[in-house]
Amino acid sequence: MNNILNITEEQLYKVRQIRQITNAAYVLRFDRNGSGFTAGQHVILGLKNQNNAREYSVYSGENDDYFEILVKEVLNGTVSKQLKQLRSGAVLHMDGPMGTFTLPAETIRYKKVIFIATGTGIAPFRSMVRSYPELDYLLLHGVRHSFEAYDRNEYQKEKYVLCTTADQKGDFHGRVTDYLMEHIPDPNAEYYLCGNAKMIHDAFDILTLKGVKPEQLHTEAYF
């Protein structure tokens, strides 16, 4: 649990809209108020006058005039349920953006990037893709059901691989780690992993065993 105390007016942001994308997941859009950020960073977000807050990766792009976060409602959670009930004009408090899970300029310009995500761990990668149209990337997204392919139509078809475990409607049936086991990694690419901590650990081991250097692997665990 994160507590945000001594809130200033500069940390207050108005909600614009909530876009439901599955029964459990939604995108919360709110004013940017001139705040800058680098794709891949996160914010600490909660309701005004309440101490409960959570960390969320920014889902929108650097050039959008708003902030967005991707939230999956947690069954026994507090903040994810509270945020879902908000309406346009409601006030949030926010700390950040912050964090170093970002792409260096040299990587954006000259390198292939492999994004590996589970669930809402796709959020920082959507921000990066929106922010850097010139980016040479491949996105592996692991979910249970194909309907959890959040905003899939925003990615170039040949650059997005949906890995599903509960149905066979994705591009690959199995976990992202199964996909990595069956494919030869690009030895020159930079790898960015975000989502379930077990996936990150397993993917790290698979890639290093296949010859990817540890310094080419960058991680951000969600849980």
CB 170 within 8 A of CB 163: yes
% of the chain exceeding 90 in pLDDT? 81
| pLDDT the model gives residue 138 | 98
Rounded CA-CA distance 38/61 in Å is: 9
Structure tokens at 149: 């392919």
| pLDDT the model gives residue 4 | 43
Paired sense of beta strands 190-195 and 112-118, if any: parallel
CB 80 within 8 A of CB 40: no
Taking only the tens place, the pLDDT of each residue in 178-188 is 999 999 999 99
User: With a cut of 50, which residues of the chain have pLDDT below it?
Assistant: 1-5, 7
Backbone angles phi, psi at 14, to 5 degrees: -95, 135
Rounded CA-CA distance 131/60 in Å is: 8
Measured over the CA atoms of residue 31, residue 90, residue 82 and residue 6, the dihedral's sign is: positive
CB 29 within 8 A of CB 111: no
Provide the CATH topology of domain 105-221. Rossmann fold (3.40.50)
| pLDDT the model gives residue 9 | 56
Paired sense of beta strands 91-98 and 42-47, if any: antiparallel
3-class SS at 134? coil
User: DSSP character for 104?
Assistant: -
Buried b (16+ CB within 10 A) or exposed e, 63-86: eeeebbbbbbeeeeeebbeebbeb
Rounded CA-CA distance 2/53 in Å is: 5
CB 211 within 8 A of CB 183: no
Measured over the CA atoms of residue 174, residue 211, residue 110 and residue 69, the dihedral's sign is: positive
CB 111 within 8 A of CB 132: no
| pLDDT the model gives residue 3 | 44
Q: How do the domains of the chain map onto residue ranges?
A: 2-98, 105-221
Rounded CA-CA distance 167/209 in Å is: 29
CB 128 within 8 A of CB 103: yes
Domain 2-98 class?
mainly beta
Backbone angles phi, psi at 113, to 5 degrees: -120, 130
